[in-house]
Amino acid sequence: MAGRTLTQHAVPITFGLKAAGWLTGVLDARDQLAALRFPIQVGGAAGSLAAPTALAGDPSRARELVAAVAGHLGLPAREPWHTSRAPLTRVADAFVTCTDAWGRIANDVLVGSRPEVHELVEGGAEGKGGSSAMPNKQNPVHAVLVKRAAIAGPPLAALVHAGAAAAVDERPDGGWHVEWATLRTLARRTVVAGAQTAELLAGLRVDTGKMLATLHDARPDIDAEQQSITPGVSPDHPYLGATEEIIDAVLSRAAAGPG
């Protein structure tokens, strides 16, 4: 198929390479989620462990009790973080890495499903994607919904960061309070968009014939780089670089799990 950069034809690629690019984004999101840590937050009113220390009898015993509670809950132990909000901003960032990956797939499907391109077709189901005005029309509804989530995600994460930046004194006055509702919305949209992306991919139809025809029509211009680097070589000779090795590496990474 024709590769595209800045919306224009670039060098030839394979659809497998494009899908490997999709998968790379998903794996990046998976790894970022897997790396999240949720440390215990037991710091007392102002992050000094004053009340636990008074009850336990000495500071060391109070800190031991906090560590014991963390172990019981299966959470990492950490010093109080009332106004150090990185544990929450990292969660928001991980969610956005997910919606970025989903959105990148959706964008390719939206472009590829344009009638004048028609290389990708979102699978239709009864009652989905139809048009009240044009019965013949099949709208790429899943891709549209996923793109919506991808566009809305970064501003929500930015709001969580704004709350962290507004932290003041030993307990924030407002910045704290914007976090949970925002994270809840961002989490819900991320999970829903993930499910919609899975459904989109499960029904995606790839028109390899149309891809090949578009590549054929783009010649000889699309072979300009190949001809400049290896003059005299037939444009029918594959100019696909390390495509197969890249695909294999991405699939191996997927099989290996987070890390």
pTM of the model: 0.91
CB contact set of 34 (below 8 Å; sequence gap of 6+): 258, 259
Angle between helix axes 86-112 and 141-165 (nearest 10 degrees) is 160
Distance (Å, whole) CA 90 – CA 95: 9
**Pick from 129, 126, 143: nearest CA to 198:** 143
124 has a pLDDT exceeding 80: no
Which range of 126-130, 173-177, 193-197, 220-224 scores highest in mean pLDDT? It is 193-197
**What is the average pLDDT across 28-38?**
97
Which pLDDT score is estimated for 138?
79
Summarize pLDDT for 197-220 with one digit per residue, the tens. Answer: 999 999 999 999 999 999 999 999
Give SS3 for 12.
strand
What φ, ψ does residue 10 adopt, rounded to 5°?
-115, -140
Q: 2-34+82-233 adopts what CATH topology?
A: Fumarase C; Chain A, domain 2 (1.20.200)
130 has a pLDDT exceeding 70: no
Which pLDDT score is estimated for 126?
61
CB 179 within 8 A of CB 85: yes
Question: Which class for 66: exposed (0-12), middle (13-18), buried (19 or more C-beta within 10 A)?
Answer: buried
Distance (Å, whole) CA 52 – CA 58: 9
Summarize pLDDT for 55-104 with one digit per residue, the tens. Answer: 999 999 999 999 999 999 999 999 999 999 999 999 999 999 999 999 99
Q: Which secondary-structure segment (H or E) carries 3?
A: strand 2-5
Residues of the chain with CATH 1.20.200.10: 2-34+82-233
Which pLDDT score is estimated for 234?
78
Active site residues: 131, 171
Instruction: Please report, rounded to a whole number, the percentage of residues in the chain having pLDDT higher than 90.
Output: 88
